[in-house]
Chains A and B, each alone.
Chain A
């Protein structure tokens, strides 16, 4: 391709936006792979990031098109500038939209606002820095959010007799909450954020130690969306089953192999409706809690990493 450009009418060449390659337009049966980079970029906009990466191997033009800002701008969530503004190191300069996309696919910590909690032990306000995390799924370019355990309100959490805060292999954050022993298990948290319109699920990320005990009674899980309670259920921690019975029939005395891997405890679904017209985004306020205070028995061996919000 190439060739001398023939001017159209009386116009300045710089006014027109098209590739030089396009002007020698031999347009019969051009074939997809000979299209100019700008056209291919428009087509790649509609593919998933994975398919874009595969297409980039076709030839040099495809590779150039796959790196263009047009393609990755379409993949970024609409509020990406606000997310970058809130991100802890999002203020740095990015050369291309692809770099922004790659950055958002990593676990981006968002600079938090101070949240006040009332603790069980005393009625003073505790200021805690809220640590929310944000990331895009690389394959589908959808938004995930999570909140670390350090941002949760854990009753008796600051008492080292009951809870420890340390890192466990596989945890997403610096510190997860480890339940040494407690009879009043009450953990709650809240998050207010903006998400692209759609359906999402909320789950707790937890793990059990081999030495776990005291969880014969089911845990109460609750979730409120925009101040309306939408979920309130009882779930056995060991097998995640909902319970309508008072006790886990398998009981606590039997020695059984405990799966100590990190797992997700599904709470419920929620929808995000569009806020501003045509923005494709909506704000949602979530409150969630994990409670076991009815039985009064001592429990031990639970790790809590935080909550995760995933698109459905």
Chain B
């Protein structure tokens, strides 16, 4: 199926607000708007795989994540969709403050939660979330992982001699 055809079908479905149902590992069912769910490129890929001919009225996908983690991912996707819809090139001061507050909530998490979320975001393939969490994790990496090892000689610490 061509990319253009898929895009026009996607736009048509968004207007109808066809929801997608995600079944979590804890056997909970989460109903999600299609445009929000499509922020997860994994789900978008799976929908594409179904194709227009096999288009059932309701699509159910099984996601091997806990309900709690999946909800966090969906929340992020919702925020992204809203941001894109209501904020254009120049965000206002209040919108910028809202974005800052949104990012700040992730900074409050402990390192293990960040790792869990990172793995989930990477699995669901939400690029912006993966990038944000990776950056956060890189600042929080335990020093032990970096320091308790012998520095390989001649690798990484030499600069161009003058």
When C-beta atoms are compared, the residue in chain B nearest to A12 turns out to be: B49
Q: Using a CB-CB cutoff of 8 Å, which residues 249-264 of chain A contact chain B?
A: 262, 264
* Contact A39 B49, beta carbon cutoff 8 Å: no
- With A15-B49, A54-B147, A54-B149 in contact, do A138 and B156 touch (Cβ < 8 Å)? yes
A1-36 vs B, Cβ < 8 Å mask (1 yes, 0 no): 000001011111001111000110101111111011
Point out the residues of chain B lying under 8 angstroms from A43, CB to CB.
118, 134, 137-138, 141
Q: How far is the CA of A45 from the CA of B25 in the complex (A)?
A: 31
Taking Cβ atoms with an 8 Å cutoff, the residues of A that contact B are: 6, 8-12, 15-18, 22-23, 25, 27-33, 35-36, 38-39, 42-47, 49-58, 62, 105, 107, 135, 137-140, 144, 205, 262, 264, 308
Interface pairs (5), CB distance under 8 Å: A10-B54, A35-B119, A54-B151, A137-B159, A138-B157
B64 close to chain A: CB less than 8 A: yes
Task: Determine which of B111, B115, B142, B162 lies in contact with A205 in the assembled complex, contact meaning CB atoms within 8 Å.
Answer: B162
Q: How far is the CA of A140 from the CA of B65 in the complex (A)?
A: 38
Report the minimum CB–CB distance from A65 to chain B (whole Å).
11
Task: Determine which of A28, A55, A62, A264 lies in contact with B162 in the assembled complex, contact meaning CB atoms within 8 Å.
Answer: A264
* Contact A15 B46, beta carbon cutoff 8 Å: yes
5 closest pairs, A vs B, by CB?
Answer: A53-B156, A57-B149, A46-B138, A42-B134, A9-B61
Point out the residues of chain B lying under 8 angstroms from A30, CB to CB.
112, 115-116, 119
Point out the residues of chain B lying under 8 angstroms from A54, CB to CB.
146-147, 149, 151-152, 156
Point out the residues of chain A lying under 8 angstroms from B123, CB to CB.
18, 22, 25
B45 close to chain A: CB less than 8 A: yes
Point out the residues of chain A lying under 8 angstroms from B80, CB to CB.
none
Q: How far is the CA of A50 from the CA of B147 in the complex (A)?
A: 12
Report the minimum CB–CB distance from A236 to chain B (whole Å).
21
When C-beta atoms are compared, the residue in chain B nearest to A49 turns out to be: B156
Find the residue from B59, B112, B138 having the highest chain A CB count within 10 A: B138
B150 close to chain A: CB less than 8 A: yes
B44-57 vs A, Cβ < 8 Å mask (1 yes, 0 no): 01101110001000
* Contact B46 A32, beta carbon cutoff 8 Å: no
Q: How far is the CA of A12 from the CA of B46 in the complex (A)?
A: 8
Find the residue from A18, A25, A51 having the highest chain B CB count within 10 A: A25
Report the minimum CB–CB distance from A83 to chain B (whole Å).
15
B125 close to chain A: CB less than 8 A: yes
* Contact A57 B162, beta carbon cutoff 8 Å: no
* Contact B119 A44, beta carbon cutoff 8 Å: no
Q: Using a CB-CB cutoff of 8 Å, which residues 86-139 of chain B contact chain A?
A: 111-112, 115-116, 118-120, 122-123, 125, 130-131, 134-135, 137-139
When C-beta atoms are compared, the residue in chain A nearest to B117 turns out to be: A27
Task: Determine which of B50, B156, B162 lies in contact with A262 in the assembled complex, contact meaning CB atoms within 8 Å.
Answer: B162
* Contact B134 A22, beta carbon cutoff 8 Å: no
Point out the residues of chain A lying under 8 angstroms from B61, CB to CB.
8-9
Report the minimum CB–CB distance from A210 to chain B (whole Å).
21
Report the minimum CB–CB distance from B113 to chain A (whole Å).
9
* Contact B149 A58, beta carbon cutoff 8 Å: yes
Point out the residues of chain A lying under 8 angstroms from B135, CB to CB.
46
Point out the residues of chain A lying under 8 angstroms from B138, CB to CB.
43-47
- With A9-B46, A32-B111, A54-B149 in contact, do A25 and B62 touch (Cβ < 8 Å)? no
Point out the residues of chain B lying under 8 angstroms from A262, CB to CB.
162
* Contact B137 A17, beta carbon cutoff 8 Å: no
Point out the residues of chain B lying under 8 angstroms from A264, CB to CB.
162
Point out the residues of chain B lying under 8 angstroms from A11, CB to CB.
45-46, 49-50
* Contact A52 B149, beta carbon cutoff 8 Å: no
Point out the residues of chain B lying under 8 angstroms from A18, CB to CB.
42, 122-123, 125
